[in-house]
Chain A
Amino acid sequence: MTNLTHKKTLFPHKLLSLFMLFLWLLMVNSISPGQWLLGALLAWGIPYLTQSFWPQSMVLSSPLLATRFILLVLWDIVFANFQVAVLILGSRQKLQPAFMKVPLALKQDFTITLLANTISLTPGTVTVDLQMQEGYLLVHSLHVTDIDAAIAEIKRRYEAPLKEIFECSTP
Chain B
Amino acid sequence: MSVALEILISLLLFAGACFALVGSLGLARLQDFFMRLHGPTKATTLGVGSIIIGSIVFFSSQTQGLSLHELLIAMFLFITAPVSAHIVGKAALHMQLPCEERTKNIPWPTDDTDN
Contact = CB atoms under 8 A, between A and B. Distances in A.
A and B touch in the complex (CB under 8 A): yes
A98 B66 CA distance: 45
Given A27-B72, A89-B25, A128-B93, A77 B82 contact: no
Contacts of B69: 26-29
B104 A126 contact: no
Contacts of A142: 35, 38
B98 interface: no
B11 interface: no
Contacts of B99: 97
Contact of B31 (A84, A92, A98, A120): A92
A129 B89 contact: yes
Contacts of A27: 69, 72
Interface in A124-171: 124, 126-129, 138, 140, 142, 147
A120 B107 contact: no
Contacts, number: 115
Nearest to A98: B104
Given A88-B26, A128-B86, A99 B67 contact: no
A26 B72 contact: yes
A42 to B, nearest CB: 15
Contacts of A98: 103-105
A117 B29 contact: no
A77 B25 contact: no
Interface residues of B, number: 44
Contacts of B38: 84, 88, 124, 126, 142
Contacts of B26: 84, 88
A78 interface: yes
Q: Which of A89, A116, A121, A147 has the most CB of B within 10 A?
A: A121
Given A100-B105, A142-B35, A88 B41 contact: no
A1 interface: no
Ordered nearest first, which 9 A-B pairs have the shortest CB separation?
A120-B82, A128-B89, A98-B104, A88-B26, A117-B82, A29-B69, A99-B105, A85-B22, A81-B46
21 contacts: A26-B69, A29-B67, A85-B19, A95-B35, A95-B102, A96-B104, A97-B34, A97-B100, A97-B102, A98-B105, A118-B82, A121-B81, A124-B38, A126-B37, A126-B38, A126-B85, A126-B86, A127-B85, A128-B34, A129-B89, A129-B90
